Amino acid sequence: MTLIQMQPRSANANPVHPMVGDAMEAAGPQVCDDMTVEVALAVTASARAGHLLVCDEDGLCTGLVTQTQLTAIRDSAAYTDQVRLRDVLGDRGPFTSPMTTMAEAEHAMRYRRLDALPVVDDQGSALGVLALSR
């Protein structure tokens, strides 16, 4: 009989159900919801980012806004230079948890037609962003 030494596999090595926390990107630029749309557009341009994570005065993530959305708002007839991000975001979310499976997150993103989804912890602080590859 030959003794075979087994090496334990890492929990992240080829998981059966990959999790969002394993695939998310760094949070990237985060801005406060009292920022104007015009300033937010300048931030996306200077950061060369396609999106911004928006946080409230307590530092909790309230949503994500894309450069395309900001441009559409700025180009609308109702736009003024006083429009703030909190005015255009509406309800909080959508968000996902780092413990959500990739399959569930991808399904939700495709159903809601989202290109990117903020990943938040239990307290609502932004951890990163999950982006669909096209």
Q: Taking all residues of the chain, what is their mean pLDDT, rounded to a whole number?
A: 83
Give the pLDDT band of residue 1 (cuts 50, 70, 90): very low
What local confidence, expressed as pLDDT, does residue 133 receive? Answer: 67
Domain count, the chain: 1
Q: Give the domain CATH number at 104.
A: 3.10.580.10
Question: Which domain, by its residues, includes 83?
Answer: 20-131
pLDDT tens digits, residue range 7-23?
A: 344 455 455 778 898 88
Evaluate whether residue 50 is within a structural domain: yes
pLDDT tens digits, residue range 112-133?
A: 888 889 999 999 899 999 987 6
DSSP string, 4-59: -PPPPPPTTSS-SS-BHHHHPEE---EEETTSBHHHHHHHHHHHT-SEEEEE-TTS
Evaluate whether residue 2 is within a structural domain: no
